Structures are given as structure tokens and as C-alpha cells.
């Protein structure tokens, strides 16, 4: 019998069981209430011997998905799993009567409820000595045979619900993600920083805040084209103009670009702005945030600030390096003289030797960035801030006082990947208007990622924005670092994939 035929037969058998439950009026009940999470019970009774457990006479009502079942005549064992962990059920015919016979027809994957007293078996496993057992939800599809997870990676992403059932590592990844986001909020809102969380629009009449290609939609009532936000930056800075000196948003952004192990069209960012600060202050904040998160989330480890990632150990406990982009390029490209790092002709000639496809509209700054991405970025393994980005590729950043061709901007690289981007904000409305016009010219020349001209934002700057610094941190990539994940899809509950066709449903068979 083939695997497909066997699976079809199992589904047919389970569908028949559900039909009988429907006939008895027992399908999909919703009147059971738990009074304990099994993970809490495991923690509470950890280390307690059988007599100690039984002496408590602890009566519990628990429920979860049945992952194991062992019938032993008039006594049986089962294991259920809820969101917090797993616990064993001990069932006896003499206690349950007809319910015991019904239990023997339950299948792996069914959602089961049990009420009873806690005990510890001779093998030392905390268990519920069941007094009542019920089937709450019939599982029509059998779970994968191997409980360490699905073998096919794409199936794990498409059927994340199954992956979470059978793959403990997947569950721990997303629990860690939730804890990391909570830590970030607590860190920023602590007395040391006093940031306020805000919400800004996700649909924009003008796409802005980043050089990226947007998704476009249409608002019917207003008869207006709208864009899913590529970044909340310009709205958050409007709030700084309005007097909220420290604001942050953990937001969903959308960029109509490629899909890869590092990119998803929809992703999560932490973005924050602080008045009366500069980019150096936010490098300090970023470093403290990441180091503090490691120390807090992995406090039980001997070396919590040493994070394994893709076969390397990333040390977030040491001071993060800070290197100007030109210096980083010079180190990796000794063919180019330091004095020529703002010479377009020299940089263009070197770029051609690296097989970088040039655009005639690019200035030296864009070419320098391309050379950096081609020859430097992948080797930035330990946490490194690259600073002093060219003005040409930093349309919202404040120019450095002693060199208007570069800006007070940084990006943080870890494991060869960009994790954060920050800069001292441009608050001169005339300068910002000129930068926007340059972006419009680039868009007219065919650059699909160039920005639009946002007149209302210029008007806001004309009221006066205090000296301000801003920061964006990629939450998804940060979770990749903290969970030793090699693909962004591993840390997204539902990553974007091409849609499936011809899904065969058990209810339609």
C-alpha cells in the first residue's frame, strides 16, 4: 500500500468516526474549561517525589492535542500538549467505564480534555490520573510520523500549523520572538529612555521614508491611489515636530521587492526617533538594546552574550566596532587609493573589475556603496557599525559638518547581514526639499525605488524639528540572530510563498 493510499484510508476512517460523533450529538463541544496550563504544572511539581505529589491531592482540568497513546488492556497512557508544554494522562477502565472504551477510539492529533488528580508514575513522569476524559475536536488528518518536525521545508512554511504541533524548535523560536519584542518595549519605555509607543498609518498617499519600491492599491471612496508603507519614518518625525520627543513604533512595512533568505515583502521593523540626540547616541542605544536582550533572554546560559549563528559565535558582549564606510572599503580594496574614494572615475573603473553593473546617473557615493556591498558586507561577522554613508544614498540623513558629501549615518552589520540603520536626521527644510527633488529626478530617470516629493513633510519641517536622531532595527533579522536561524522564513509564522493549487481537502473526499 502506497503512503498516499494509506493516508487516504486513515482520513476516511477518521471521517467515519466524526460522522458517528455527529450522529450522537457529540461533535465539536465547547463547554469544557481548563483550570491549569500543563507547563505551569510541570514547573510547580518539578523535583517533587511521588508521595509529595499525591499528598497535594491536586485536582486539575487540562486539555490539549494528543501526541502519543499507548493502550495496555484495562489501563492506558496518553500524552497531550498545550501551548505551554506536555503532560501524561493515566487512564483506567475501572475509573472511566464507557468513556475508556470511547478513549480507545481517539486518534493521535485529536484535541482531548481530561480531569483528574496529579500523580507521578514509577518512571518519574508527572501525570494526571484521569477521572473524566472527552474528545473536544476530531483531527481528520494524521500528523506526520516523525515528531521532530516535517521533513519538507516548504511544507513547514506552508502548513505552519502542523509544524508548530510537531516541531518543538519551531514553537520555541516564536516564543522567543514574542519575548524579544516584549523586551524591546520594556527597554525603550524604562526610566532610562522614556520612549512612547505610537501608531502611524499603514496606507500612505505618498510612499516615503525609505528608498524602496512600494505596493500600490486604491481607495474607492476617495478615488485615490494609496501605497502600503515602506517605512513610518516621515510620520514619526512629524510627531517629533509636534512635541513628542521620544517615539517608537514596532510596525509592519511592505516593499515590493525580491524574496530571499533575508527578505520578505512584509516585514517587521522597530523604528524610533529621539530629539536632542545624534547618530552616535543611537549607536550606543542599539548596542545596549541587543546586549541587554541577550543577557535577559539567555540569562540561564553560562555565556549569554555569545550567540551561535550559522556556525559562528557572535559576541554581543564586546564593544561593537565603528568604522567609516570609506575606511572599510579601503581595507578590502587596496587597489584604490584612500585619496580616490570620492573620485567617481577611479571608483567606476574599480567597480567594473568587480562586475558591478553601473548606471550613468550614479555619482561616486552610489558606486562606493555598491563596492562596499560587493566586497565588505559579507565579511562583517562580529557586530560592526559602518558609519559616514555618502549623502547621495542617504536622502533623509543630516550631512556631516566638515564634509557635506557624507552623512551622520550608520548601519549595523552582524553575521554579514544588515540589522539596523540609523542617522542624525536632516531638519533643514530647504536641504530636505532639494534632496526630495533629486529623488524625483532619479524616479523620472527610471529608479523605481526613489522617493516622491512630500510637500506636507517639508511644511512640517518649516515649523521646526529639534535636532533629532532616528533608528530602524529589523526585528525579523534580529530574531534570526537570537534563534540561530538561517532564513527569514524560519522566524515568520506565515512567510509569503507562491499560492498552492488543487489542495485536496479531507471534508471533500
Q: How far apart are the first and last CA of the chain?
A: 19
Q: What is the mean pLDDT of the chain?
A: 93
Residue 210 has pLDDT above 90, yes or no: no
List of residues 6+ apart from 353 with CB closer than 8 A: 335
- Burial, 193: exposed, middle or buried (Cβ in 10 Å; 0-12, 13-18, 19+)? middle
* pLDDT value of residue 147: 43
Each residue's pLDDT tens digit, 452-499: 889 999 999 999 999 999 999 999 999 999 999 999 999 999 999 888
Each residue's pLDDT tens digit, 170-192: 999 999 999 999 999 999 999 99
Residue 149 has pLDDT above 70, yes or no: no
Confidence of residue 442 (pLDDT cuts 50, 70, 90): confident
* pLDDT value of residue 443: 77
* pLDDT value of residue 297: 98
The strand pair at 85-92 and 126-137 is best described as parallel
Each residue's pLDDT tens digit, 279-336: 999 999 999 999 999 999 999 999 999 999 999 999 999 999 999 999 999 999 999 9
**For range 193-216, the mean pLDDT:** 89
* pLDDT value of residue 1: 41
Specify the higher pLDDT residue, 435 or 316.
Answer: 316
Q: Which three three-digit cell numbers place residue 63?
A: 486539555
Contact 236, 249 (CB under 8 A): yes
Q: Is 3-143 CATH 2.40.50.140?
A: yes
* pLDDT value of residue 208: 76
* pLDDT value of residue 261: 77
Residue 505 has pLDDT above 70, yes or no: yes
Residue 106 has pLDDT above 60, yes or no: yes
**For range 268-283, the mean pLDDT:** 98
Each residue's pLDDT tens digit, 365-411: 999 999 999 999 999 999 999 999 999 999 889 999 999 999 999 99
Closest CA to 289 of 409, 190, 199: 190
Q: Where are the domains of the chain?
A: 3-143, 166-320+382-491
Closest CA to 331 of 341, 344, 342, 319: 341
Residue 3 has pLDDT above 60, yes or no: no
- Whole-prediction pTM: 0.92
Confidence of residue 6 (pLDDT cuts 50, 70, 90): low
Closest CA to 262 of 492, 451, 450: 492
With H, G, I as helix, E, B as strand and everything else as coil, classify residue 311.
Answer: coil
List of residues 6+ apart from 371 with CB closer than 8 A: 329, 333, 347, 350, 351, 354, 356
* pLDDT value of residue 150: 62
Task: Note the residue count of the chain.
Answer: 509
With b for 16 or more beta-carbon neighbours within 10 A and e for fewer, the 278-292 pattern comes to bbbebbebbbebbbb
With H, G, I as helix, E, B as strand and everything else as coil, classify residue 87.
Answer: strand
Closest CA to 236 of 251, 248, 254: 248
* pLDDT value of residue 2: 47
CATH of 166-320+382-491, one of 3.40.50.300, 3.30.930.10, 3.30.1300.10, 3.40.50.10130: 3.30.930.10
Q: Which three three-digit cell numbers place residue 331?
A: 581595507
Report how far residue 339's alpha carbon sits from residue 64's, in angstroms, rounded to the nearest whole number.
67
Confidence of residue 272 (pLDDT cuts 50, 70, 90): very high
* pLDDT value of residue 76: 97
What is the percentage of the chain residues whose pLDDT exceeds 90?
83
Amino acid at each position: 500500500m502506497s503512503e498516499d493510499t494509506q493516508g487516504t484510508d486513515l482520513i476516511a476512517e477518521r471521517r467515519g468516526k466524526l460522522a458517528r460523533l455527529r450522529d450522537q450529538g457529540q461533535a465539536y463541544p465547547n463547554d469544557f474549561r481548563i483550570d491549569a496550563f500543563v507547563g505551569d504544572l510541570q514547573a510547580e511539581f518539578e523535583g517533587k517525589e511521588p508521595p509529595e505529589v499525591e499528598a497535594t491531592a491536586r485536582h486539575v482540568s487540562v486539555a490539549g492535542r494528543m501526541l502519543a497513546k499507548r493502550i495496555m488492556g484495562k489501563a492506558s497512557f496518553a500524552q497531550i500538549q498545550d501551548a505551554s508544554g506536555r503532560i501524561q494522562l493515566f487512564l483506567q477502565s475501572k475509573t472511566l467505564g464507557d468513556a475508556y472504551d470511547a478513549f480507545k477510539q481517539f486518534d493521535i492529533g485529536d484535541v482531548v480534555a481530561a480531569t483528574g488528580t496529579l500523580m507521578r508514575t514509577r518512571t518519574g513522569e508527572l501525570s494526571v490520573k484521569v477521572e473524566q476524559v472527552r474528545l473536544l475536536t476530531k483531527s481528520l488528518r494524521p500528523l506526520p510520523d516523525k515528531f521532530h518536525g516535517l521533513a519538507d521545508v516548504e511544507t513547514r512554511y506552508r502548513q505552519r500549523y502542523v509544524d508548530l504541533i510537531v516541531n518543538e524548535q519551531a514553537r520555541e523560536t516564536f516564543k522567543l520572538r514574542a519575548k524579544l519584542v516584549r523586551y524591546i518595549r520594556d527597554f525603550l519605555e524604562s526610566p532610562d529612555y522614556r520612549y512612547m509607543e505610537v501608531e502611524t498609518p499603514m496606507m500612505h498617499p505618498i510612499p516615503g521614508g525609505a528608498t524602496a519600491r512600494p505596493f500600490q492599491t486604491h481607495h474607492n471612496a476617495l478615488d485615490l491611489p494609496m501605497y502600503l508603507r515602506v517605512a513610518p519614518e516621515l510620520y514619526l518625525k512629524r510627531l517629533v515636530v509636534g512635541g513628542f520627543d521620544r517615539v517608537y513604533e514596532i510596525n509592519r512595512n511592505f516593499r515590493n521587492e525580491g524574496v530571499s533568505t533575508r527578505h520578505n515583502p512584509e516585514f517587521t521593523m522597530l523604528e524610533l526617533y529621539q530629539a536632542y540626540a545624534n547618530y552616535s547616541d543611537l549607536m550606543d542605544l542599539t548596542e545596549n538594546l541587543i546586549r541587554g536582550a541577550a543577557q535577559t533572554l539567555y540569562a540561564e546560559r553560562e555565556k549569554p552574550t555569545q550567540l551561535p549563528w550559522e556556525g559562528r559565535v557572535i559576541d554581543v558582549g564586546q564593544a561593537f566596532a565603528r568604522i567609516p564606510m570609506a575606511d572599510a572599503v579601503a581595507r578590502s580594496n587596496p587597489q584604490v587609493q584612500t585619496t580616490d574614494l570620492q573620485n567617481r572615475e577611479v571608483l567606476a573603473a574599480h567597480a567594473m573589475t568587480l562586475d558591478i553593473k553601473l548606471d550613468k546617473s550614479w555619482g561616486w557615493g552610489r558606486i562606493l556603496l555598491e563596492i562596499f556591498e560587493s566586497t565588505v558586507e559579507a565579511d562583517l561577522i562580529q557586530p560592526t557599525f559602518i558609519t559616514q554613508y555618502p549623502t547621495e544614498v542617504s536622502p533623509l540623513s543630516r550631512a556631516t559638518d566638515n564634509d557635506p558629501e557624507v552623512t551622520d549615518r550608520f548601519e549595523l552589520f552582524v553575521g554579514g547581514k544588515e540589522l539596523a540603520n540609523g542617522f542624525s536626521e536632516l531638519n533643514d527644510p530647504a536641504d530636505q526639499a532639494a534632496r526630495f527633488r533629486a529623488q524625483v529626478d532619479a524616479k523620472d530617470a527610471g529608479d523605481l525605488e526613489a522617493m516622491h516629493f512630500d510637500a506636507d513633510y517639508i511644511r512640517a519641517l518649516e515649523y521646526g524639528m529639534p535636532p533629532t536622531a532616528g533608528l530602524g532595527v529589523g526585528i525579523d533579522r534580529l530574531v534570526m540572530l537570537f534563534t540561530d536561524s538561517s532564513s527569514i522564513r524560519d522566524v515568520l509564522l506565515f512567510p509569503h510563498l507562491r499560492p498552492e493549487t488543487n489542495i485536496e481537502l479531507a471534508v471533500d473526499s
